Each structure stands twice: as structure tokens, then as C-alpha cells.
Structure 1
Amino acid sequence: MKSKLTVAALALLAAYGSQAQDTIVKIGHSGPLSGAQAFAGKDNENGARLAVEELNAKPITVAGKKLKFELLSEDDQGDPKAGMAAAQKLIDKGVRYVVGPYNSGVAIPASRAYNDAGALIASVATNPKLTQQGYKGLYRINASDTQLGSKMALYAANELKLKTVAVIDDRTAFGQGVAEEFKKQARAAGMTVVGHEFTNDKAFDFTAILTKLKTKNVQAIFFGGYAPQGAPMARQMKQLGISARLLGGDTICTAEMGKLGGDAVGDNVLCSQGGAILDKAAAGPGFKARFKARFKQDADVYAAAYYDATMMYANAMRQADSTDPQKVQQAISAGAYQGVAGTYAFDAKGDMKQSPVTIFSFKGGQPVALTSY
């Protein structure tokens, strides 16, 4: 009769042996986990984390071995220099599958490092330049600035019947890109753009810019930038008695906008976000419920997209029967993956073939979907 110690030792060896048979797949996340945009970085990270936990709870088998996924997350601070350092850290740790970066200004330079290392990248960064670099393993899992800016302009012209607008951008790669696309489409749709002002992504006082625009009697101001600046801008518009609507892209379509802006953020604020209305998507309500149960908070703007990107990688590994990034890339590029937030099928550049844009407003501090456009 074996001793209890021997039985325990054999059990440990068996457990170790089965783990040794698993193939470890490292998923890297790069995003702003500190600073004013940390709310977005953490939400995105949680989307990827939920996918990793679900994949490990029901393991998939590739090339005869179970896959075990690990999430490695780095704080890129929403800063290009820190983003390059984060990229190098992930590459050095053997990461070949990346979700992020979130900011266009980080994603554009960092994608070169990831590409050179043979890593695949799935990013929500919207600046068109991202996918113009010619990297085969880079996928934009979201609408581009072209779609976000132009659809917001079309909604403003066709549905809100606006005639006179102004633009403010924060000079980031994202802010400039989306503002220029809005401006271009606004003019094409017959609106007059009476001013284009500039700020930065650290500013909080917009009084001088807004006072200047107030004299031009604008019906709306389009802001190319992020919620930590958009919210005080909305507050200052109210204080200055500016009745114009505040319009923006996906980065102000967040509960953080309502939280920071208070009663200055309501149906006067409208924003465009890539993807269909989550509540109307088949798997949307289930995802939202699982996310809230796990993290004790609602999923924000791109949690579902980061979840989908992680699941898309896993699905392509199963299709390719390989964890070799080159074979996985071929499977992604040739196929289509049905996720929570949409269908991920890509053109030759890595942009989504179809990416609907949803227009949101705010009610009770929360973004509320109006229509897909």
C-alpha cells in the first residue's frame, strides 16, 4: 500500500505533467493604465482578461495540445515614448499576440516594433495612417477616423440640420485625424466650418478658445480629443452660456464623460463610436452581464472589442491548428470572425470590411445609443 505522501507526490507529478503538455500563449496588452485615460486602459484590459479567463476555463486544443493563455499588460501612459518601451517589454517577454495600443499616437510608432518582432496587432486606434504602413499582421478592430468623423458630420447635417460648426482638436494623432475627417465631410454636406482651434491632451481650461467661438454663433463644436478634456470643455461651454452642441468621436462616448462633466453633459453632447449597438447584438447582453459579474462595473467603450480580438486570435489558432503567428495571420486575413461587437473580416490593409458607426448622446451621465449610421 502506497503511503499518503507517495500518492500526493504522484498526484503532483501528474498535474505537473499535464501542465507541461499545455502550450502557453501570451497575449500582450498595451494601454494607458495610469493618468487621465486610465479608465479606458483598464476597461480595455478587462475585456481581454475576461476572454483569457473564459478560454482557460474551457481550453481549446491546437496541434494536439491544450492552450493556456496568459495576459501580460503594460502601461504605455498614452504616450508614444512610453509606448515604445512597453512594446519592447512585451516583445522581450515572448509576446507575439497584442491587443492595443489604444491611442493612435502610440499605436503608429509601436506597431513597427511589434511587426519587426513578428507579432500580430489588433488595435482600436482610429488614425488612417495606422493601416497605411503595410504591415500584414496589423488589424484595426474598429472604425477609422474617416468613418467616425464623417458619420458624425453626416448626422449633424442630415438629422440635426446644422448649418454652422467649429472644430477644436488636441493635436494628438487621434484628435487631428478625426477632426480633419469631420471638417472635410461637414463641408461636403453643406455646413460652414467657421473656425478650427487647437489645444492639447493635458489642457483643462478652454475659456479663451470658447469665448472666441462664441462670437461666431456656432450651432455645434466638434472636439477631436478625449473625455478628460471634453468634459471640462462641456462645463465651460455651459458657464459661458454657449448653447451649441458638443460633438466628438469614440473617445468621448464614455461614462467618464458624464462623470466628469456632470449636468453639463446631456443631450447636448453627441458622439460617434465604431460598432453596432451592443444591446441589439445577439451576444451583446450576455457579454455585458458576464463583464459586470466579473469586474463589478459596466463595460465601457471598447471592452467588447478587446474581448473579441483575444477570442479572434484563439479562433484563428484553432483554424490554423497552430500558434505560429504567420499561420494565424493567414487564417485571420482569409476568414471572418463573428464577435460580440461585430464581424471581423479585413481588407488587404487590415481595416474592417464593414464597420457600422453608432451615434450616442447622454442621459443620466451615461452614453445612450441613438442610431447606427
Structure 2
Amino acid sequence: MQVTTRIIPFAIALAFAGSAGAQQVVKLGHVAPISGPSAHLGKDMENAARMAVDELNAKGVAINGQKVTIQLVSEDDGADPKQGTAVAQKLVDAHVNGIIGHLNSGTSIPASKIYHDAGIVQISPATTAPQYTAQRFPGAFRVVASDVKLGATMGKYAIDTLKAKNIAIIDDRTTYGQGVADQFAKGVKGGAGVRVVGREFTSATATDYTAILTSIKAKKPDLIFFGGMDSVAGPMLKQIKALGIPATFMGGDGMCTDALGRLAGAGLGEGKVFCAEAGGVKGAQEKVMEDFRARYKKKFNMDVQLYAPYVYDSVMVMATAMQNAKSADPAKYLPELKKIRYEGVTGTIQFDDKGDIKDGALTLFTYKGGKRTRLDVVR
């Protein structure tokens, strides 16, 4: 007997593949920059989403007693807001049951309005700009701490531990880069004897920073904070070295990657670069994270770059909410997501009333011998 299933755009009922006995399909959309300067981070995210989906399907997932197949629908936003909104609409039109993404705040925030209007739940594993959850969209969540916490933590570290007095700040004018630089500026404001001696900006696609760095050099900073991605921070560090600027270099999670060592080369120095990653584990949870990294490397023959563990947990959290709700309809599993407590690779995941992760962690790093080296995990 043939069964016709009506797919409701907002509720997004499960799609049947023809007959009454056919297995149901749950579509999960994933969005990250798979092309462009941040492609290594986007591919890292896509891999982790695929890994989670493969594991769920291998184990067997049932929703309301019905076995389902989870299908990953992956799109490339190129870290571009215009492309991001285009693929967001494409995923809405494909009737996905939920969204995992985006990486960049500048793409995630405009896309979130499209998902909200369509009634689709979004969990971002990487968006840190405060504006993302400040919109108060009920279906928007994130599993990493926001830039408010990152900026305050790094500002305190710069003053108390690194003893910075004269600070220069550079950002790449993206929503993320400018936002994290603004939060850092707030974090150092009012520090005893601390001055922000310069505030400069570049772009996410620039390759020559000589003009702004020359201007900064004249102001003799002992610390430079950069808001942006590793694809800009690396070449910038090379030019800082070439200009003979002795300042310590600091930045947020966008540049806090293993790839920074390769991108910066000799400009990395030894214990001169500091950064913070949104998230992090310590104690017994470290073994869980190590096991994940080993499974990831075995599956993809490459190391985790940055956000893979958070993508993996995002998929698992969304799937768990669907199982708890006995439905893949976003309107029905959203209440379960709001009250969820999930023990993941990255630790305990619970959300506050805005959709922010509760008690989010930050991990502080420096670079030694060209390698990223953990200093501490703080909450």
C-alpha cells in the first residue's frame, strides 16, 4: 500500500521513502565555510558532523518507536554573510529538521533570522558574538561561551599575568573580529596604569598589514590584541617580526588553532603568542576528549583543528532532544532542548533562557616549539 506523506514546512514532519514500511529520514543541516581562508576549520566541522551522524546511524536511532536514518545535508557558506543567508534559505527549502552551524558570527547571525522565521532549531558550535542569542530567538542555541566571557577573561589575563600596560588592538571588521576586540577592550578598561595606545583595523581578506603595524610600532605597545581568524593572524605575525615589534600577541578563539604555527612560521616566536578557545575540559573529562580525538583521526586521517568536538556534541544533543520528545518536529523537540542536560565530549551541556551554554569554559593557550600548548581551563 502506498502512503503519501505531506511535508509541512514549519513543523517539518519526517519524510517517508514511499511505503508504509519504509524507514523514516531525519535531515540535519550543517553549515560552515568549506571554501576560502577558513576552509580548514569548516572541513573540521563538517567531518565531525558526519562522524556523529555515522555513529548514530550505526547504533540505530528510534524516534517514538520508529527507526530513523539521519541524513546530513551540508552546505558551504564561505564565511560570507550573503552566501550564508542563501544556503540558509536553501536548507529551509530542503525541509531540514534542524541546523548545526555556522562557524562565523557574521554568517550565523543573519542566517539565524531565516531559521527562526521558518521555525527551525539552530545549534551553533562556534558562534561567540553576544548578538546571536541577544536576539532572543527561542530556537537559537550555542555550546560555547560568548565573547563577553572571552574578552573579560583575556583582558584580566593580559593585565594580571602578562603585566601589559600599553595595549594596541586590531580587528578584521567582521562581526566576530570587531566584537571580540570590543569585549577585550572592555576587559582591560580601568586596569591600573593600563592604556589602549592604538585601535586599528584590517579586513578578513587582507594580506599586507604594514601600514597599521608601522603606526602601532611607533606607539611602543607591549601587547597587541587581534580580533580575527588564524588565516590573518599568521601572516600578521610574520610582518610583526619583520618590523621588529617586540610586543606579545594575543587573540581569541578564531586564531587559536594548531594551524597558526604553520601560518605564522618564525613569526610565532616562543611563548609570545597567547589565545583563548571557547570551551575546554580538564580532569576526568580529558580522557573523553582524547578518545574523541583519536576516533576522529582514525576516521579522517587528520587531527582535530578546533571546533570538531563542539559540532559532534551539537549533533548528539539535537538527536537526544528529538528522542526525548519522540518527534523530529522542531516545535515538539524544542522544549526538550531547553531543559536538556547532556554529558558530551566537551562536558555537561545545558542552556540558559537565552540559549547560551551554562557555565561555559574557556581554555587559555600559548605556543611553544611551534605547537599550541594549554595553560589552563577556566569557567
Give the counterpart of 2:295 among 290, 295, 304: 290
1:5-16 matches, cutoff 5 A: none
Q: Does 1:353 align with 2:361?
A: no
d(CA) in 2 for partners of 1:282 and 1:131?
31
Secondary structure in structure 2 of the residue aligned to 1:204: coil
Give the counterpart of 1:245 among 248, 259, 262: 248
d(CA) in 2 for partners of 1:339 and 1:174?
26
d(CA) in 2 for partners of 1:19 and 1:214?
71
Task: State the identity as a percent.
Answer: 45
Please say if residues 340 and 350 of structure 2, whose CA atoms lie closer than 8 Å, have aligned partners that are also in contact.
yes
d(CA) in 2 for partners of 1:278 and 1:173?
30
1:338-349 matches, cutoff 5 A: 338-349=343-354
Q: Which is further off, 315-324 or 77-86?
A: 315-324
Equivalent in the alignment of 2:323: 318
Deviation at 1:263, TM superposition (A): 2.1
d(CA) in 2 for partners of 1:95 and 1:19?
21
Unaligned 5+ segments in structure 2 are 1-16
Q: Does 1:217 align with 2:220?
A: yes
Q: Does 1:275 align with 2:276?
A: no
Deviation at 1:18, TM superposition (A): 10
Equivalent in the alignment of 1:166: 168
Q: Which is further off, 242-251 or 320-329?
A: 320-329
Q: Once the two structures are superposed, what CA deviation does each residue of 1:141-170 show, in whole Å capped at 9, x if it has no partner?
A: 111111112211111111112111110011
Equivalent in the alignment of 1:328: 333
Alpha-carbon spacing, 1:35–1:310, altered in 2? closer, same or farther (3 Å) = same
Deviation at 1:177, TM superposition (A): 0.5
Alpha-carbon spacing, 1:92–1:268, altered in 2? closer, same or farther (3 Å) = same
Q: Does 1:308 align with 2:313?
A: yes
Q: Once the two structures are superposed, what CA deviation does each residue of 1:195-238 show, in whole Å capped at 9, x if it has no partner?
A: 10011111111111111111111111000111111001100111
1:123-202 matches, cutoff 5 A: 123=124, 124-190=126-192, 191-202=194-205
Regions of 4+ moved over 6 Å = 16-19
2:67 corresponds to which letter in structure 1? K
Q: Does 1:207 align with 2:195?
A: no
Q: Does 1:91 align with 2:92?
A: yes
1:68-87 matches, cutoff 5 A: 68-87=69-88
1:199 corresponds to which letter in structure 2? T
Q: Does 1:37 align with 2:30?
A: no
d(CA) in 2 for partners of 1:208 and 1:347?
44
Q: Once the two structures are superposed, what CA deviation does each residue of 1:89-146 show, in whole Å capped at 9, x if it has no partner?
A: 1111111211111111111111011111111101121111110111111001111111
Deviation at 1:19, TM superposition (A): 10
d(CA) in 2 for partners of 1:137 and 1:365?
40
Unaligned 5+ segments in structure 1 are 1-15
1:206 corresponds to which letter in structure 2? Y
d(CA) in 1 for partners of 2:96 and 2:268?
40
d(CA) in 2 for partners of 1:189 and 1:275?
26
Please say if residues 121 and 330 of structure 2, whose CA atoms lie closer than 8 Å, have aligned partners that are also in contact.
yes
d(CA) in 2 for partners of 1:329 and 1:265?
44
Please say if residues 278 and 285 of structure 1, whose CA atoms lie closer than 8 Å, have aligned partners that are also in contact.
no
d(CA) in 2 for partners of 1:256 and 1:316?
34
Alpha-carbon spacing, 1:366–1:26, altered in 2? closer, same or farther (3 Å) = farther
Please, what TM-score do these two structures have when normalized by structure 2?
A: 0.91
Equivalent in the alignment of 2:4: none
Please say if residues 282 and 340 of structure 1, whose CA atoms lie closer than 8 Å, have aligned partners that are also in contact.
no
Please say if residues 254 and 366 of structure 1, whose CA atoms lie closer than 8 Å, have aligned partners that are also in contact.
no
* Alignment: residue pair count: 358
Deviation at 1:22, TM superposition (A): 2.4
Please, what TM-score do these two structures have when normalized by structure 1?
A: 0.92
Deviation at 1:278, TM superposition (A): 6.8
Q: Does 1:107 align with 2:108?
A: yes
